[in-house]
Amino acid sequence: MFDSANLPHVMTKDEFEAAESRLRELLLDAQFEVAEQKRAAIMVMINGSDGAGKGEIVNRLYDWLDDHLVETLSYGKPTDAERARPGAWRYWRDVPAKGRIALVLGSWHHRLLRNRALGRLDKNAYNNALEEMIRAEEMLRHEGVHLLKIWLHMDDHEVRKRLEKLREADGALRRPAVIEWDEIQGSKARARLIDAALEMIEKTSTGNAPWAVVPATNPHYRDVAVGDLLLQTLKSAAAGAPAAPSTRAVAAPDSALPRPSLVSTLDLTKTAGEDYSKVLQSLQQRLTEATTAKSFRDKGLVLVFEGNDAAGKGGAIRRVREALDPRRFRVYGVSAPTDEEQARPYLWRFWRNIPRRGDIAIFDRSWYGRVLVERVEGLAAPQDWMRAYQEINDFERQLGATGYLVVKFWLAISQDEQLRRFQDRETKAFKRYKLTPDDWRNREKWALYEQAMTDMVDRTSARQAPWALVEANDKKFARLKVLRTIVERLEA
């Protein structure tokens, strides 16, 4: 779920200063409006890796805001008074009054993750607690409390480096810092923590109250990103937008900040080697073996192909298909829904085509149309495509829980390569049917699709069904990568 947060996010000092002077003024204006109206309270939940700058963010926000109307809520070990009461009591006691902003460190999210990491909650108990938390947050939003949930993300290697720098030889800290995850050291506890955090982010990555995952490696970028998110929250509160889920049209961070796209990180020049045919044959052989093995009978395989127009989905699917028992698979080409389909919930057309266990369904485009073409073309309202992330995660989790393997591909080509292929299609009669006016129109929205694809991978690369991004300027390379990915997932 952190795919795009792992990309380099840079901001120079000059850029920062320009952004800062703009942000300060806007933040103050918005803050005063919220304060005067006394209609909404804001809680900024600051969570994330140690060393990612949780404390620095709080200090920065105090600088930028009017500090009389801001309060810090920080929760560590429960006090005696807190231990003597239900766990939620201490958070309830501190709920900020309408008109005010609370900066929250060590929120209930932290406590829950910590208890899971330390093994105090088993998987089911954790899940139950998570659902209770979701309901409680929903209630707060209904009551006019806007929750801005921030996860400062830094990769583990960088975290270690920072923490080392912070510590003296005797383990003491060189300067004040918010250290929350100190206790979680053993590899088992770390694994549980990461798993629990992913689950939390998956389950709450809805249109209602998504986490904003903020890349924290570059402090300039980090601070401006958080300021920007807060500004949006304040503005939406001031505009009287209810904090309640359904009426909040766009909960996605729609920031003015540059957001690197996931595709931009792919090396599209990769090519298949000389031995393409040999490797292809060997991978197909392995695929045949894996899908005809006795153990496969209790499984199902669901393959999803998405990608740019003309990225070579059809060709890749053909190479997969060739290796499969023709009685056991079916390819579904997904285009505009039929009348029958239009009359039902959007997942219906996919549910009805879920294969028996032991069989294989190949989707050439899929349910992800909801958050790609329907989003970009405005065919689905923002609140509808935003809730789809969670609905899709639920759907794929159900498949995973009953033995299905879901493998999802994004085939990426460059704009130049696409143009070449379009022109090729125009000139070759037998390929002309493949090119439609829609394809040219979509091309003009390249950047919008790239953004939609980045969000999609961020929010749906769930543990049971991660996305595979496939460099596809070289068709042969793409085919081999697709086959290899399927074979390796099946063999794992």
Q: Scan residues 391-420 and list those touching its own copies (CB under 8 A).
A: 391, 394, 398-399, 401-402, 404
354-383 positions binding its own copies, by CB under 8 A = 354-358
* E strand or H helix at 369: none
Q: Is 67 left (phi over 0), alpha (psi -120 to 50) or beta?
A: alpha
Distance CA 200, CA 45 (A): 14
Give the chain's end-to-end CA distance (angstroms, integer): 21
Site string for its own copies, 40-69 (x = CB under 8 A): -x----------------------------
3-state secondary structure of 98: coil
Q: How far is the CB of 259 from its own copies (least distance, A)?
A: 28
Nearest to 411 by CA among 463, 479, 466, 461: 479
Residue 97 interacts with its own copies (CB under 8 A): yes or no: yes
The count of chain residues that interact with its own copies, using the rule CB under 8 A, is 60
340 contacts its own copies (rule: CB under 8 A)? yes
Nearest distance from C-beta of residue 387 to its own copies, angstroms: 6
Q: What is the DSSP annotation of 308-334?
A: STTSSHHHHHHHHHTTS-TTSEEEEE-
Does residue 438 touch its own copies according to CB under 8 A?
no
272 binds its own copies (CB under 8 A): no
The smaller minimum CB distance to its own copies, of residues 144 and 260, is found at 144
352 is an interface residue for its own copies by CB under 8 A: yes
- Report the SS3 class of residue 99: coil
Closest distance to its own copies from the beta carbon of 156 (Å):
30
Using the 8-state DSSP alphabet, how is residue 27 labeled?
A: H
Residue 229: exposure state from Cβ atoms within 10 A (0-12, 13-18, ≥19):
buried
Rounded Cα–Cα distance for residues 481 and 280 (Å): 10
Q: Residue from 10, 18, 81, 173 that binds its own copies (CB under 8 A)?
A: 81
Q: Smaller CB distance to its own copies: residue 336 or 343?
A: 343
**Residue 85 binds its own copies, judged by CB under 8 A:** yes
CA 392, 263, 2, 190 torsion-angle sign:
positive
State yes or no: residue 247 binds its own copies (CB under 8 A): yes
Residue 92 contacts its own copies per CB under 8 A: yes
Cα–Cα distance, 312 to 472 (Å, whole number): 7
Min CB(262)–its own copies separation in Å? 27
Q: How far is the CB of 86 from its own copies (least distance, A)?
A: 4
Helix axis angle, 446-460 to 382-401, nearest 10°: 40
Query: CA 386 to CA 369: how far, in whole Å?
Result: 13
> At which residue do the structure tokens 């290899």 appear?
484
Rule CB under 8 A: choose which of 88, 249, 293, 379 binds its own copies: 88
**Position 84 contacts its own copies (CB under 8 A):** yes
Near its own copies by CB under 8 A: residue from 12, 246, 285, 423: 246
Per-residue binding string, its own copies, 110-149, x by CB under 8 A, is ------------x-xx-xx--xx--xx--xx-xxxx----
d(CA 46, CA 56): 11
Q: Which residues bind its own copies (CB under 8 A)?
A: 38, 41, 81, 84-89, 92-93, 95-99, 122, 124-125, 127-128, 131-132, 135-136, 139-140, 142-145, 244-247, 300, 340, 343-348, 351-352, 354-358, 384, 387, 390-391, 394, 398-399, 401-402, 404
